[in-house]
Amino acid sequence: MTERATGTRSASLESLLVSREVVVFCGSGGVGKTSTAAAAALTAAVHVGGRVLVLTIDPAKRLADALGIEGIGNVERRVPDEVLRQAGLAPRGELWAAMLDTKASWDDLVLRHAPDEETARRILDNRLYDNLTSRFVQSHDYIAMERLYDLHSAGTYDLIIVDTPPTRNALDFLDAPQRMADFFGGRLLRWLTAPYRLGGKRGARLVNFASKPFYQVADRILGTQFLQDIAEFFLNFETMYGGFVTRARAVERLMKDRRTAFAVVTTLEGAPLREAEYFCAELTARDYHLGALVLNRVLPESFADPGVMVAADRLVEEPEAVAARLVGLGVDALADPAAVARVLRTVGSSFQNFAVVATREAELREELGRVPDVLATVPSFADDVHDVAGLARIGECLLGAQLPSARVRADAGAREAEDRPG
């Protein structure tokens, strides 16, 4: 392990980044999970040090480009220090990034767990395999967890930050390893393949089981050939049973271990927030370590400030009176009273629009019930974040007031030892 800053006991996102080996970012779709996870990794590499990896699932192209992982498949890449320096950062550690390639990860898995190369080939060449691995959401969940476990157990990284796949339910991925183990260990699979097993050779027609209702129904619905194809595929797949179950258990252990923490990301909007509260409750109920709740894209508090609201109301109600005063200044661009009044009214009503949102955000924040110790707020930026400088801005917000300045000075290298927090 490379040298890292040691942990503080105070609840902060920074202490989370210092003390954990894995931090999993989850939340409903569209709340900015990917950029928040990348920002957390960048922040850790810059301020905490060590070797930090962000495992992203589906980053925007510009963000992937910025991290240097666009179109490179299943390998980790180091984000060059030069890129970080250009963004005004002086990293203590190394930032690495990787994108999840579901297909390549599955192929690796099959090659690793299959008893011999011939079986592996038969599995890889089966059309059901292709469908199973590329089309099913659950297979993405499973492989994300599998890949995380792989990267963690290799011991190369001090901290791994994980973005989670977009799923209907953001917690589905947690069940994926167990589901996979159940799948292979289950009686159902045995049941399905039993007639073909009894037949002794592949393609044997079922005899003993023909009277069972399941086969009657399945046969009538799907046709014998399809059942046979499925059975053949799973008989091959089953040879990997032991490897899968062992891995699934290990992944589950890692997820529940103190070394892993979860960060829930949400915006202050009704539906995502209710979902985030549900995730928080559910993670805690299932004994996972909920580390932080990140409120993303929050409007500045000043937008809900009564004093500012009064000023905006005045602009909307009496733009002509205010305009008269400004026209009197003798500024060229402010010579036309009608134009100035029009702009003032627009400025005032623009604020009023945002004030409605900001006020509702403040209310929702008040209503937030049981939340984890760490609550970080990231303000609403005008654009999607797509470069390292943008990630650094989010990173500053994630750390909040914990550091004097997130942007390290040019001489930081020399001062590094005494600067180190904790």
Partner 1 sequence: MIDLLDRRLLFVTGKGGVGKSTVTAATALLAADQGQKVLLVESDAKGNLTNLFEHPPVGFEPQEVHPGVHAMQLNTEASLREYLKLNLRIPMVGRVGPIANVFDFVANAAPGVKEILTVGKVCWEVRASIEGRADWDLVIVDAAATGHVLAQLDAPRTIRELVHTGPVRNQTEWMMEILSDESVTALNIVTAPEEMPVNETIELVAHAREETTVPLGAVIVNRVLPEPFTTEDEAVFAALAAPPAVDALRDEIGAGADGVLDAARLAVALRRARVPHLDALRAGVDLPLLYLPYLFVRDHGLRVTRVVADALGAELGL
Site mask for partner 1 (CB under 8 A), range 1-20, x = bound = --------------------
Name the packing angle between helices 224-237 and 127-135 (round to 10°).
Answer: 80
> How far, in whole angstroms, is CA 317 from its chain's centroid?
45
By CB under 8 A, is residue 344 in contact with partner 1?
yes
Residue 376 Cβ vs partner 1, minimum distance, rounded to whole Å: 19
Q: Which residue in 124, 204, 218, 250 binds partner 1 (CB under 8 A)?
A: 218
Q: Of the two residues 62 and 121, which places its CB atom closer to partner 1 in the complex?
A: 62
Q: Which stretch binds partner 1 (CB under 8 A): 90-98, 106-114, 144-152, 360-368?
A: 360-368
- 416: which 2 tokens? 């590094």
Residues with Cβ within 8 Å of residue 187, at least 6 apart in sequence: none
Q: Which stretch binds partner 1 (CB under 8 A): 37-45, 87-95, 131-139, 390-398?
A: 131-139
Q: Which residue in 300, 373, 409, 414 binds partner 1 (CB under 8 A)?
A: 300
Reference 294, options 163, 422, 146; nearest CA is: 163
Q: Which residues pair with 160 in a beta bridge?
A: 22, 53
Which H helix or E strand runs over 352? helix 337-367
Q: Which residue in 37, 312, 376, 391 binds partner 1 (CB under 8 A)?
A: 312
- 239: which 2 tokens? 């040879």
CB 105 within 8 A of CB 74: yes
- 257: which 2 tokens? 């271990």
Residue 337 Cβ vs partner 1, minimum distance, rounded to whole Å: 11
Residue 210 Cβ vs partner 1, minimum distance, rounded to whole Å: 15
By CB under 8 A, is residue 256 in contact with partner 1?
no
Q: Which residue in 213, 367, 405, 418 binds partner 1 (CB under 8 A)?
A: 213
Q: Which residue in 80, 186, 203, 242 binds partner 1 (CB under 8 A)?
A: 186
Q: Which residue in 72, 83, 204, 347 binds partner 1 (CB under 8 A)?
A: 347
- 282: which 2 tokens? 């559910």
Q: Which stretch binds partner 1 (CB under 8 A): 115-123, 329-337, 394-402, 406-414?
A: 329-337
Reference 39, options 303, 384, 404; nearest CA is: 384
Residues with Cβ within 8 Å of residue 348, at least 6 apart in sequence: 311, 312, 313, 314, 315, 316, 319
By CB under 8 A, is residue 331 in contact with partner 1?
yes
Q: How far apart are CA 97 and CA 341, in angstroms?
A: 51
365-384: which residues touch partner 1 (CB under 8 A)? 380, 382-384
By CB under 8 A, is residue 208 in contact with partner 1?
no
Q: Which stretch binds partner 1 (CB under 8 A): 87-95, 96-104, 203-211, 295-303?
A: 295-303
Amino acid at 336: D
64-103: which residues touch partner 1 (CB under 8 A)? none
Count of residues engaged in binding partner 1, rule: CB under 8 A: 88
Sign of torsion over alpha carbons 376, 381, 384, 385: negative
Q: Which residue in 53, 340, 392, 399 binds partner 1 (CB under 8 A)?
A: 340
Output the furthest CA–CA distance in the chain (Å, rounded): 99
By CB under 8 A, is residue 60 in contact with partner 1?
yes
Q: Of the two residues 104 and 412, which places its CB atom closer to partner 1 in the complex?
A: 104
By CB under 8 A, is residue 203 in contact with partner 1?
no
By CB under 8 A, is residue 305 in contact with partner 1?
yes
Q: Which residue in 71, 117, 168, 418 binds partner 1 (CB under 8 A)?
A: 168
Q: Which residue in 12, 15, 28, 56 binds partner 1 (CB under 8 A)?
A: 28
By CB under 8 A, is residue 125 in contact with partner 1?
no
Number of helices and strands (H, E) in the chain?
19, 8
Centre a 10 Å sphere on the Cβ of residue 397 and count the other Cβ atoms it contains.
Answer: 21
CA-CA distances (angstroms) from residue 418 to 47, 100, 249, 415? 13, 38, 42, 6
